């Protein structure tokens, strides 16, 4: 899907398409810490949820 959108952008405005082609890897690298932070926060929240619901799961067995 991304490649099709890039080809449409290339047909409409080739300088903007080339700029997007150059900036995409740089932006992707800059966003890696935020992805790692999101994965970490999600894992911590899952851990907290499992600790909170542990007594209810033990009682239901």
**What pTM value is reported for the model?**
0.62
State the greatest distance between any 2 C-alpha atoms of the chain, in Å, as a whole number.
Answer: 64
Look at residue 51 in the predicted model and tell me its pLDDT.
Answer: 95
**Is residue 41 within 8 Å of 34, Cβ to Cβ?**
no
Look at residue 44 in the predicted model and tell me its pLDDT.
Answer: 98
- The tally of domains found in the chain comes to 1
pLDDT tens string, the chain, 61 residues long: the values are: 888 988 998 899 989 989 988 999 999 999 999 999 999 999 999 999 999 999 988 898 7
Q: How far, in Å, CA of 21 to CA of 7, rounded?
A: 11
Chain Cα centroid distance, residue 57 = 31
- Which residue range forms the structural domain that includes residue 40? 2-60
Look at residue 46 in the predicted model and tell me its pLDDT.
Answer: 97
Q: Which residues 6+ apart lie within 8 Å of 17 measured at CB?
A: 6, 9, 10
What is the DSSP-derived secondary structure letter of residue 13? -
């Amino acid at each position: 899907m991304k490649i099709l959108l890039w080809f449409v952008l290339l047909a409409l405005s080739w300088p903007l398409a080339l700029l997007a082609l150059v900036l995409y890897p740089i932006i992707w690298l800059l966003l890696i810490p935020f992805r790692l932070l999101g994965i970490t926060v999600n894992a911590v929240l899952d851990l907290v949820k499992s600790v909170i619901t542990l007594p209810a799961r033990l009682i239901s067995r």
